[in-house]
Amino acid sequence: MTSGTLTTRLNVDLGTRAYNIEIGTGLIAAAGAKVRDLLPTPRVFVITDTNVADHWLEKLTTSLDDNAIRFAVKVLAPGEQTKSMAQVEELTHWLLDQGVDRKSTLIALGGGVIGDLTGFVAAITLRGIPFIQIPTTLLAQVDSSVGGKTGIDTRHGKNLVGAFHQPLLVLADTGALDTLHRRQLLAGYAEVVKYGLINDPEFFEWCEVNGQAVIDGDPASRRRAVEVSCRAKAAIVANDERETGDRALLNLGHTFGHAIEAEAGFGDQLLHGEAVAIGSLCAFELSRRLELCTGQDVERVRAHMTAVGLPTGLDGIAGPGWTADVIHGHMARDKKTEDGRMTFILARGIGKSFISRDVAMDTLNDLLSDILPK
Amino acid sequence: MTSGTLTTRLNVDLGTRAYNIEIGTGLIAAAGAKVRDLLPTPRVFVITDTNVADHWLEKLTTSLDDNAIRFAVKVLAPGEQTKSMAQVEELTHWLLDQGVDRKSTLIALGGGVIGDLTGFVAAITLRGIPFIQIPTTLLAQVDSSVGGKTGIDTRHGKNLVGAFHQPLLVLADTGALDTLHRRQLLAGYAEVVKYGLINDPEFFEWCEVNGQAVIDGDPASRRRAVEVSCRAKAAIVANDERETGDRALLNLGHTFGHAIEAEAGFGDQLLHGEAVAIGSLCAFELSRRLELCTGQDVERVRAHMTAVGLPTGLDGIAGPGWTADVIHGHMARDKKTEDGRMTFILARGIGKSFISRDVAMDTLNDLLSDILPK
Mean of the pLDDT values across residues A86-90?
A: 97
Kindly tell me if the per-residue pLDDT of A95 is higher than 90. Answer: yes
For chain B, how long is the longest CA-to-CA vector?
A: 62
Mean of the pLDDT values across residues A237-246?
A: 89
Residues of chain B with C-beta less than 8 angstroms from the C-beta of A96:
154, 156-157, 160, 333
Residues contacting B124, CB < 8 A, separation 6+:
A120, A124, A161, A162, A163, B88, B92, B163
Mean pLDDT of chain A: 93
Kindly tell me if the per-residue pLDDT of B1 is higher than 60. Answer: no
Distance from CA of B298 to the nearest CA of A (A): 31
User: Is B164 close to A128, i.e. CB distance below 8 A?
Assistant: yes
Residue type, A147: G
Mean of the pLDDT values across residues A201-205?
A: 98
User: Is B160 close to A96, i.e. CB distance below 8 A?
Assistant: yes
Mean of the pLDDT values across residues A295-303?
A: 98
If phi > 0 it is left, if psi is from -120 to 50 it is alpha, else beta; for residue A253 that is left
Mean of the pLDDT values across residues A171-177?
A: 97
Give the pLDDT of residue B3. 43
Chain B residue with minimum CA distance to A101: B338
The answer to whether A285 is a known catalytic residue is: no
Q: Identify the weakest region by mean pLDDT among A88-92, B17-21, B330-334.
A: B330-334
Averaging pLDDT over each range in A236-240, A245-249, A323-327, B213-217, which range is the top one? B213-217
Q: Identify the weakest region by mean pLDDT among A58-72, B1-15, B159-173, B261-275.
A: B1-15
Catalytic residue among A272, A300, A304, A336: A272
Using the Cβ of B323 and the Cβ atoms of chain A, whether some distance falls under 8 Å is answered with: no
Give the pLDDT of residue A113. 95
Using the Cβ of B102 and the Cβ atoms of chain A, whether some distance falls under 8 Å is answered with: yes
Give the pLDDT of residue B333. 80
Which has more confidence, B1 or A343? Answer: A343
Give the pLDDT of residue A245. 87
Distance from CA of A53 to the nearest CA of B (A): 27
Give the pLDDT of residue A131. 98
pLDDT tens for each residue of B226-261: 999 999 999 999 999 888 888 999 999 999 998 998
Using the Cβ of B160 and the Cβ atoms of chain A, whether some distance falls under 8 Å is answered with: yes
The answer to whether A288 is a known catalytic residue is: no
The model's confidence at residue B2, banded by pLDDT at 50, 70 and 90, is very low
Using the Cβ of A357 and the Cβ atoms of chain B, whether some distance falls under 8 Å is answered with: no
pTM (2 decimals)? 0.92
Kindly tell me if the per-residue pLDDT of A57 is higher than 90. Answer: yes
The complex scores an ipTM of: 0.91
B285 closest CA partner among B346, B327, B329, B336:
B346
Give the pLDDT of residue A267. 73
Give the pLDDT of residue A250. 95
Give the pLDDT of residue B118. 98
Residues contacting A169, CB < 8 A, separation 6+:
A19, A20, A21, A22, A34, A35, A38, A132, A133
Give the pLDDT of residue B334. 77
Give the pLDDT of residue A332. 86
What three-state secondary structure class fits B18? coil
The model's confidence at residue B5, banded by pLDDT at 50, 70 and 90, is low
The model's confidence at residue A5, banded by pLDDT at 50, 70 and 90, is low
Cβ(B242)–Cβ(B166) below 8 Å: no
Q: Identify the weakest region by mean pLDDT among A34-38, B243-247, B265-269, B280-284.
A: B265-269
Which has more confidence, B3 or A113? Answer: A113
Mean of the pLDDT values across residues A247-273?
A: 89
User: Is A127 close to B164, i.e. CB distance below 8 A?
Assistant: yes
Chain B residue with minimum CA distance to A334: B101
Task: Give the other-Cβ count within 10 Å of A25's Cβ.
Answer: 20
Residue type, A370: D
Q: Identify the weakest region by mean pLDDT among A2-6, A186-190, B61-65, B257-261.
A: A2-6
Mean of the pLDDT values across residues B296-318?
A: 94
Give the pLDDT of residue B336. 77
Using the Cβ of A99 and the Cβ atoms of chain B, whether some distance falls under 8 Å is answered with: yes
Mean of the pLDDT values across residues B133-160?
A: 94
pLDDT tens for each residue of A181-191: 999 999 999 99
Q: How big is the CA angle at A50 (ends A49 and A56), to the nearest 5 degrees?
A: 85
Kindly tell me if the per-residue pLDDT of B340 is higher than 80. Answer: no
The answer to whether B182 is a known catalytic residue is: no
Mean pLDDT of chain B: 93
Using the Cβ of A324 and the Cβ atoms of chain B, whether some distance falls under 8 Å is answered with: no
Q: Is A347 exposed, middle or buried (0-12, 13-18, 19+ CB in 10 A)?
A: buried
Give the DSSP letter string of A66-102: HTT-EEEEEEEPPSGGGSSHHHHHHHHHHHHHTT--T
User: Is A125 close to B160, i.e. CB distance below 8 A?
Assistant: yes
Task: Give the other-Cβ count within 10 Å of A53's Cβ.
Answer: 20
Give the pLDDT of residue A206. 98
Catalytic residue among A251, A288, A304, A330: A251
Looking at the DSSP assignment, which residues form a beta bridge with residue A20?
A11, A169
Using the Cβ of B245 and the Cβ atoms of chain A, whether some distance falls under 8 Å is answered with: no
pLDDT tens for each residue of B204-213: 999 999 999 9
Kindly tell me if the per-residue pLDDT of A4 is higher than 60. Answer: no
User: Is B102 close to A151, i.e. CB distance below 8 A?
Assistant: no
Q: Identify the weakest region by mean pLDDT among A39-43, A79-83, A105-109.
A: A79-83
